[in-house]
Amino acid sequence: MAIGSVTGCFGRPLMNMWTSLLGRFSLGRLSRGGVRALQRQGEGWRPWMPMGCRWRQTLTAAPLPQGVGSSIRQVQVMDVERLVQVNWEDGSHSFYPFVWLRDNCQCPVCTLHSAKARSLLLSQLDINTTVDRVTLMEPSTVSIVWPDQHTSEYDADWLKKRCFSPEARRAQQEELFLNNRVYWGSDLQIPTASFEEVLHDDKAALDWLMELRKVGIVLLKGAQLKQGQVARLSQRIGYLRLTFYGHTWQVQDKLGANNVAYTSGNLSLHTDYPALHHPPGVQFLHCLTQAHQGGESEVVDGFHVANQLHWENPEAFHTLSTLLVDFTDSGADYCDFAVQSKNHIIDVDCDGQVVRINYNNATRDSILDIPLEQVQPFYSSLKAFVDLMYQPKNIFTYKMELGDVATFDNWRLLHGRKSYVSHTENLRHLEGAYLDWDEVMSRLRILRKAIRGET
Ligand SMILES: [Zn+2]
């Protein structure tokens, strides 16, 4: 929507009418520097606006959330809309609902600062609260006195970060979750970093996690050739994710394998563990011994391929993102297990963005809980998706070297392995571990804050 739409909403005549009508009730309520001063008529217009136009005005305000040293020129109360309007020195403005401001009072009664958490209970919150007085204490602090004379103070940077304009919200969400990805195919330039540097240097660790989020895979080089390295790397983040395959697991050609990975056969492209309702977000694989012949790794950008499917075959995309498919995994390892799940092959969020791929042909259950007439369309859709992921333009192939630790996004990438010739005297051996994105993103935010020098 165009930024200039405000003019369309507030034609002069309309604005003047409301200025004169409402001005007498509320002008001069707001002041600067703690001095109660009447504003000139015309300055104190009450931006009443018809529904549909109202929120368009927030589009004119595009303060980025990372404002440091933000300065406020003026604050205004919009009693009818029950909003506080903050006019910034740079000419932009933000709106904050009364109820949200009261709910987020930063005083020691309403906030437990040692926990950075809200102590105010919803039962204590008047969701229809009005305001008694709003004052701009200084360019960086807004003070509000509520009808019960409770006083709240809000810092300008804090407010700016929480602006409700669509642009500010988008920027804030990107800062928090880093959901902008770089897609790739067979042309991937696989990002690499030094394993030991990532363990010991904060900047290297941050760069690693940023790339992991953005590209979906980073190859760490030079880990010691002994078990335990993926556990060390997990500790750099926080903790690893225990599953029925253990804290860490050994990918080797095993007699009586309890998982298709534990053979020397070809492993078709898959994500790990869709048999869980919450599959592990991140996977580490450390190459301890490599096969002389075969054993190359294959990876595919699942988000990129799913988007291609959406474009080329929207019906198949719709089927795979709406039908719940049964997955199963049973056996014994860390302990005995009988896991069942129902997952979409393609998970999308409420905006239709692909957020997770859940696909492992080995653990896709023969129990298929869908109506009879949807079975054939389901297979057609799945086949279309798998055919796309196997197009040479979409597959990146590489062979892990000794000491490599592949770290990748298991919600995004599909990975596979070419078959290899198994030798007992040189048994191919990878050690793996899982983590979840919550823990990985937590470490990323902490490292970023430290490197930016933020408190
Ligand atoms: Zn309070």
- pLDDT per position as a tens digit, 77-127: 999 999 999 999 999 999 999 999 999 999 999 999 999 999 999 999 999
CA of 132 to the centre of ligand 1 (A): 14
Q: According to the model, what pLDDT value does residue 66 have?
A: 54
CA of 163 to the centre of ligand 1 (A): 20
CA of 151 to the centre of ligand 1 (A): 6
Spatial separation of the C-alpha atoms in residues 351 and 379, rounded to whole Å: 26
What is the pLDDT of the chain when averaged over all its residues? 87
Q: Which two tokens stand for residue 453?
A: 């020098």
CA of 16 to the centre of ligand 1 (A): 37
Which residue, among 192, 251, 240, 278, has the nearest Cα to 432 in the 3D structure?
Answer: 251
pLDDT digits (tens, 9 = 90+) for 398-421: 999 999 999 999 999 999 999 999
Q: Over 90: is that where the pLDDT of 361 sits?
A: yes
CA of 409 to the centre of ligand 1 (A): 42
The percent of residues above 70 in pLDDT, for the chain, comes to 85
- What's this model's pTM, rounded to 2 decimal places? 0.84
pLDDT level of residue 67 (50, 70, 90 thresholds): low
CA of 455 to the centre of ligand 1 (A): 23
CA of 153 to the centre of ligand 1 (A): 8
Taking each helix axis from N to C terminus, what angle separates 302-312 and 375-389, rounded to the nearest 10 degrees? 120
* DSSP strand pairing (192-194 vs 217-221): parallel
Spatial separation of the C-alpha atoms in residues 272 and 77, rounded to whole Å: 53
pLDDT digits (tens, 9 = 90+) for 276-297: 999 999 999 999 999 999 999 9
CA of 118 to the centre of ligand 1 (A): 10
CA of 107 to the centre of ligand 1 (A): 4
CA of 122 to the centre of ligand 1 (A): 13
CA of 120 to the centre of ligand 1 (A): 8
CA of 140 to the centre of ligand 1 (A): 18
CA distance to 63, 173, 301, 418, per residue, from 267 (Å): 49, 36, 17, 6
Q: Answer with the residue of higher pLDDT: 265 or 435.
A: 435
Q: Over 70: is that where the pLDDT of 39 sits?
A: no
CA distance to 6, 129, 301, per residue, from 51 (Å): 13, 21, 43
Q: Over 60: is that where the pLDDT of 62 sits?
A: no
Q: Over 60: is that where the pLDDT of 41 sits?
A: no
Tell me how far the alpha carbon of residue 143 is from its chain's centroid: 33
Contacts (Cβ under 8 Å, ≥6 apart) of 329: 244, 273, 275, 337, 339, 363
The percent of residues above 90 in pLDDT, for the chain, comes to 79
Q: According to the model, what pLDDT value does residue 415 have?
A: 98
Q: Which two tokens stand for residue 31?
A: 């002041």
- For 449-452, the CB contacts below 8 A with 24+ separation are 450/202, 451/202, 451/203, 451/206
Query: Which residues, by Cβ under 5 Å, contact ligand 1, an ion?
Result: 105, 107, 109-110
DSSP 197: H
CA of 22 to the centre of ligand 1 (A): 30
Which residue, among 258, 243, 348, has the nearest Cα to 306 in the 3D structure?
Answer: 348
CA of 104 to the centre of ligand 1 (A): 8
Q: Over 70: is that where the pLDDT of 11 sits?
A: no
- At 61, the amino acid letter reads A
CA of 71 to the centre of ligand 1 (A): 23
Name the E strands within 81-198: 83-88, 93-97, 111-112, 117-118, 133-138, 141-145, 151-155, 192-194
CA of 78 to the centre of ligand 1 (A): 21
> How many CA atoms within 13 Å lie on the side-chain side of 355?
14
CA of 108 to the centre of ligand 1 (A): 7
Spatial separation of the C-alpha atoms in residues 378 and 390, rounded to whole Å: 18
Which residue, among 284, 289, 290, 288, has the nearest Cα to 232 in the 3D structure?
Answer: 284
CA of 66 to the centre of ligand 1 (A): 25
Q: Over 50: is that where the pLDDT of 180 sits?
A: yes
Burial of 452 (0-12, 13-18, 19+ CB in 10 A): exposed
